[in-house]
Structure 1
Amino acid sequence: MSDKIQKLFGSPLVVINVGTRRMGDALVKQGVTVAQVDWKPLAGGDKKMQDILSMLGGS
């Protein structure tokens, strides 16, 4: 294994959580460092609205 890979696996784990906050909280309880990202899909996931915004240059 290369030195870079060994160094990576020897480093502390940091998780970027794009899921629910509950999922991140469960990891924190296990001692994992978590960066919570509050992300929502464009237009709340509404495909028709996404298409309209795309036509208007919104994405």
Structure 2
Amino acid sequence: MTDKQSPLTREVRVINIGLERFADDLRSLGVQVVQMDWRPPAGGDKKLIEILDRLKDRS
């Protein structure tokens, strides 16, 4: 039988996609964090997203 470590006792590592404040708070607790600089396409503007999708389909 192999010794399996419980996920609850393993070191936590996080990839944060969103508010950098969450990453800052986790880092202050000693958690390894990678902060991804991501924003919704076209700033979340649905009309602009539709236009970009149509342009993408043409290429």
TM-score band by shorter chain is 0.7 to 0.9
Counterpart of 1:28 in structure 2 is 27
Structure ID, larger Rg: 2
| Unmatched runs of 5 consecutive residues or more in structure 2 | none
| Unmatched runs of 5 consecutive residues or more in structure 1 | none
Any runs of at least 4 consecutive aligned residues in structure 1 with deviations exceeding 4 A, and if so which?
none
TM-score, normalised with respect to structure 2: 0.79
Counterpart of 2:54 in structure 1 is 55
The structure where helix makes up a greater share of residues is 1
Q: In angstroms, what is the RMSD of aligned CA positions? A: 1.8
Aligned length: 54
TM-score, normalised with respect to structure 1: 0.79
Alpha-carbon distance change, 25 to 7 in structure 1, aligned in 2, over 3 angstroms: same
Aligned-partner residue type, residue 40 of structure 1: R
Identity %: 43
